[in-house]
Chain A
């Protein structure tokens, strides 16, 4: 469980979103926003955003981190609704997700 996720004062406050690039294997949640910080890998930020959307990463979609690679836990395989997409953690940083029922995650 990443830090800063616990509800404040025991109330079910609004959970903070977590970039999918930092999510551990097994993380389940819903996409809150797609925010590409800066251009990288020779592509402008807008193009990276377009590609993420074309693979189904849009606000509201259910996501689950299914697998991760052996080296540096990278890349990751993410279930998006009912399709599985492989991508690197660096690109996944642009996908902000809110954990689903964070306290009951098995």
Chain B
């Protein structure tokens, strides 16, 4: 008890609350910088973002960034967390000493209603008017003293994206020290429709009293939307953007990838020369360096993909994309809100599946989770890139379109079409449901993406990927090297050493099942560690062919494939990877998010079945057309 009391006087616990699009996360980043910890709340899959900051007076503050919400009613798991922490109901979390309600200063209406609701909780509360510079530039005259008096809540301004933009906020935190710990009476109860109405009317009255109309309204958003939300032009631009994104992933990343590749190659040669011939040499060069290198080489492509997603998100375009796609997705039985999770799944199905929490209807959420792994995630890029560059000539068609990029675009397209098809079938036959739930979404004003915020997001993604390469992928590489190297060939053996290994035994054992789809035993071997993560398959193929064929093969795995696989086999592998449920972490996340094994098993089974059937058909059609 005494220690708990001691720690609670040592550091304050503050919580950031706010509506979606209030710039809450930007403010959180500005206040805590790199001193952040991202984890999950115990027992649920809601992300907990917390960080440490120091006030000018030297007090340390534990700041927690709560999921965005319009009210404390708790319509989704995320919003329930916000409600429970604000009310101090969550046992694992210290009740906040101060609530910081973040509002977009250019768009106060919905935030002020939330402030009025938060007041009833009785905790010390401060309103932070974020993006205050933008409001001033638009000539929105906010009478801060009046606003504060009308609300009965201290008000402070902030510009999260500017370096000194939080100075005033930090100073005010110290001034509020006196009120910290002073808990008023909690009169909050879930508001009814008439409560919500009354609160919104009161908020509108306060705005009329304290906030002037903009002298220079935001005409840019209106002018951009006239084009970007145009029924025809808007859809064409959205498609063009996606097309540009995939062209960029394929061609812009090339020079950097070559650099990384040659770096790892010379590093491998260095290790080869420094170590005595034997097992250790083979392990370091073929297992560790070429294995990890063959995965890290895809970092530039993943970063380019995330760069596009982060920029579009910061710009405010993502909500527009959901608007444009709502009917198309709706006809396939998906919710318009599913567009953002599905688009994130292009980077990785795991954040995509986690992002489905914004969908409050359980069946819609399950349908989205079911199809999210069909979207082409970045882990497939290594597999696709390797096979495309080995089998598709690098020429231009129609003058400017890179043929390899076009094939890549086609593979992405196949993923999207199959996702729509599966969700249609699920909705109609599985749920036997024809009704789609409401789609309501705020379209925020466009905002110039900030370099610092995008750079920070990219850095976090890069670290996540490298961490994965260093742990999961590395341990799988050790495993595949072991399988490919043991047992050692008997004395006097003539064939390559790998023919006597466990890998060959496993690969051959799988042949009766996988030969009909055109896979040879080397592919079968690569599929096994590929279960841990798809990109490992590439590294595994590299290791298998390296141990089989020596150094030259390791350096030129693409050429090795072109020599050893038929076109039909290559196409079958590509198609296999559109569907195959080859990612243990995705399956684990599905189990966690759906709260049981059932949906994980369903996902695994239907994807495997699709993969097998599609690869089988592709292989046999290709052979019939003479590509065998």
Interface residues of A (CB under 8 A from B): 40-43, 46, 48-56, 58-61, 66-75, 77, 81-88, 90-91
B555 in the interface, Cβ–Cβ < 8 Å?
A: no
Q: Is the CB of A81 within 8 A of B197?
A: no
**Can you list 29 pairs linking A and B with CB atoms under 8 Å apart?**
A40-B435, A40-B438, A42-B363, A53-B193, A54-B70, A55-B110, A55-B440, A66-B225, A67-B229, A67-B230, A69-B323, A69-B324, A70-B327, A71-B331, A74-B326, A75-B323, A77-B225, A81-B109, A82-B217, A83-B110, A84-B442, A84-B444, A85-B440, A86-B326, A86-B439, A86-B443, A87-B440, A87-B441, A90-B438
Q: How far is the CB of B344 from chain A (nearest CB, A)?
A: 19
| Residue from A51, A60, A71 within 8 A of B438 (CB atoms) | A51
Task: Give Cα A74–Cα B336 distance, bound, in whole angstroms.
Answer: 12
In the complex, residue of chain A having the shortest beta-carbon distance to the beta carbon of B211? A82
Task: Give Cα A40–Cα B196 distance, bound, in whole angstroms.
Answer: 21
Interface residues of B (CB under 8 A from A): 70-71, 73, 106-107, 109-110, 113, 191, 193, 196-197, 200-201, 204, 214, 217, 221-222, 225, 229-232, 234-235, 319, 322-324, 326-328, 331, 336, 361, 363, 435-445
Q: Find chain B residues with CB under 8 A from A75 CB.
A: 323, 326-327, 336, 439
Specify which of A66, A69, A71 lies most central, judged by the most chain B CB atoms within 10 Å of its CB. Answer: A69
Q: Find chain A residues with CB under 8 A from B107 CB.
A: 82-83
Q: How far is the CB of A79 from chain B (nearest CB, A)?
A: 9
Task: Give Cα A82–Cα B108 distance, bound, in whole angstroms.
Answer: 9
Q: Find chain B residues with CB under 8 A from A50 CB.
A: 73, 191, 193, 196
In the complex, residue of chain A having the shortest beta-carbon distance to the beta carbon of B222? A66
Q: Is the CB of A91 within 8 A of B440?
A: yes
**Contact A53/B197 with A69-B327, A75-B327 known, Cβ cut-off 8 Å:** yes
In the complex, residue of chain B having the shortest beta-carbon distance to the beta carbon of A69? B327
Q: How far is the CB of B240 from chain A (nearest CB, A)?
A: 15
Q: Is the CB of A87 within 8 A of B435?
A: no
Q: Find chain B residues with CB under 8 A from A61 CB.
A: 204
Task: Give Cα A42–Cα B326 distance, bound, in whole angstroms.
Answer: 18
A-B pairs with the 5 shortest C-beta distances? A70-B231, A41-B437, A71-B327, A67-B229, A84-B443
| Residue from B232, B324, B326, B363 within 8 A of A88 (CB atoms) | B326
Q: Find chain A residues with CB under 8 A from B441 CB.
A: 85-87
**Contact A68/B231 with A43-B437, A53-B193, A55-B440 known, Cβ cut-off 8 Å:** yes
**Contact A85/B439 with A53-B196, A71-B327, A75-B336 known, Cβ cut-off 8 Å:** no
Task: Give Cα A73–Cα B231 distance, bound, in whole angstroms.
Answer: 8
In the complex, residue of chain A having the shortest beta-carbon distance to the beta carbon of B19? A54
Task: Give Cα A43–Cα B201 distance, bound, in whole angstroms.
Answer: 25
Task: Give Cα A61–Cα B201 distance, bound, in whole angstroms.
Answer: 9
Q: Find chain A residues with CB under 8 A from B326 CB.
A: 69, 74-75, 86, 88
Q: Find chain A residues with CB under 8 A from B327 CB.
A: 69-72, 74-75
Task: Give Cα A48–Cα B435 distance, bound, in whole angstroms.
Answer: 15
Q: Is the CB of A49 within 8 A of B438?
A: no
Q: How far is the CB of A106 from chain B (nearest CB, A)?
A: 15
Q: How far is the CB of A61 from chain B (nearest CB, A)?
A: 8
In the complex, residue of chain A having the shortest beta-carbon distance to the beta carbon of B435? A41
Task: Give Cα A42–Cα B363 distance, bound, in whole angstroms.
Answer: 10
Q: Is the CB of B436 within 8 A of A86?
A: no
Task: Give Cα A34–Cα B442 distance, bound, in whole angstroms.
Answer: 18
Q: Find chain A residues with CB under 8 A from B191 CB.
A: 50
Specify which of A49, A52, A55, A74 lies most central, judged by the most chain B CB atoms within 10 Å of its CB. Answer: A55
In the complex, residue of chain B having the shortest beta-carbon distance to the beta carbon of A73? B231
In the complex, residue of chain A having the shortest beta-carbon distance to the beta carbon of B217? A82
Q: Is the CB of A87 within 8 A of B439?
A: yes
Task: Give Cα A40–Cα B327 distance, bound, in whole angstroms.
Answer: 17
Q: How far is the CB of B489 from chain A (nearest CB, A)?
A: 63
Specify which of A49, A67, A72 lies most central, judged by the most chain B CB atoms within 10 Å of its CB. Answer: A67
**Contact A87/B196 with A69-B231, A69-B326, A75-B323 known, Cβ cut-off 8 Å:** no
Q: Find chain B residues with CB under 8 A from A55 CB.
A: 70, 110, 440, 442
Task: Give Cα A48–Cα B110 distance, bound, in whole angstroms.
Answer: 17
Q: Is the CB of B200 within 8 A of A41?
A: no
Q: Is the CB of B110 within 8 A of A54?
A: yes
Q: Is the CB of A91 within 8 A of B442?
A: no
Q: Find chain B residues with CB under 8 A from A81 CB.
A: 109, 204
**Contact A42/B435 with A55-B110, A91-B440 known, Cβ cut-off 8 Å:** yes
Q: Find chain B residues with CB under 8 A from A71 CB.
A: 327-328, 331
Task: Give Cα A67–Cα B442 distance, bound, in whole angstroms.
Answer: 13
In the complex, residue of chain A having the shortest beta-carbon distance to the beta carbon of B226? A67
Q: Find chain A residues with CB under 8 A from B229 CB.
A: 66-67, 77
Task: Give Cα A39–Cα B315 distance, bound, in whole angstroms.
Answer: 35
Task: Give Cα A90–Cα B319 distance, bound, in whole angstroms.
Answer: 19
Task: Give Cα A52–Cα B323 distance, bound, in whole angstroms.
Answer: 17
In the complex, residue of chain A having the shortest beta-carbon distance to the beta carbon of B231? A70
Task: Give Cα A104–Cα B73 distance, bound, in whole angstroms.
Answer: 42
Q: Is the CB of B200 within 8 A of A58?
A: yes
Q: Is the CB of B438 within 8 A of A43?
A: yes
Q: Find chain A residues with CB under 8 A from B438 CB.
A: 40-41, 43, 48, 51, 87-88, 90-91
Task: Give Cα A71–Cα B326 distance, bound, in whole angstroms.
Answer: 10
Task: Give Cα A68–Cα B231 distance, bound, in whole angstroms.
Answer: 7
Q: How far is the CB of A51 from chain B (nearest CB, A)?
A: 6
In the complex, residue of chain A having the shortest beta-carbon distance to the beta carbon of B190? A50
In the complex, residue of chain A having the shortest beta-carbon distance to the beta carbon of B213? A82
Q: How far is the CB of A44 from chain B (nearest CB, A)?
A: 11
In the complex, residue of chain A having the shortest beta-carbon distance to the beta carbon of B191? A50
Task: Give Cα A77–Cα B336 distance, bound, in whole angstroms.
Answer: 13
Q: Find chain B residues with CB under 8 A from A83 CB.
A: 107, 109-110, 442
Q: Find chain B residues with CB under 8 A from A58 CB.
A: 197, 200-201, 204
Q: Is the CB of A41 within 8 A of B436?
A: yes
Q: Find chain A residues with CB under 8 A from B71 CB.
A: 54
Specify which of A41, A43, A53, A66 lies most central, judged by the most chain B CB atoms within 10 Å of its CB. Answer: A53
Specify which of A54, A56, A59, A72 lies most central, judged by the most chain B CB atoms within 10 Å of its CB. Answer: A54
Task: Give Cα A83–Cα B107 distance, bound, in whole angstroms.
Answer: 7
Q: Find chain A residues with CB under 8 A from B363 CB.
A: 42
Q: How far is the CB of B138 from chain A (nearest CB, A)?
A: 10
Task: Give Cα A88–Cα B439 distance, bound, in whole angstroms.
Answer: 6
Q: How far is the CB of B393 from chain A (nearest CB, A)?
A: 37
Q: Is the CB of A86 within 8 A of B437?
A: no
Task: Give Cα A84–Cα B323 distance, bound, in whole angstroms.
Answer: 12
Q: Find chain A residues with CB under 8 A from B445 CB.
A: 84
Q: Find chain A residues with CB under 8 A from B436 CB.
A: 41
Q: Is the CB of B323 within 8 A of A86?
A: yes
Task: Give Cα A70–Cα B229 distance, bound, in whole angstroms.
Answer: 9
| Residue from B106, B110, B437 within 8 A of A42 (CB atoms) | B437
Task: Give Cα A87–Cα B443 distance, bound, in whole angstroms.
Answer: 10
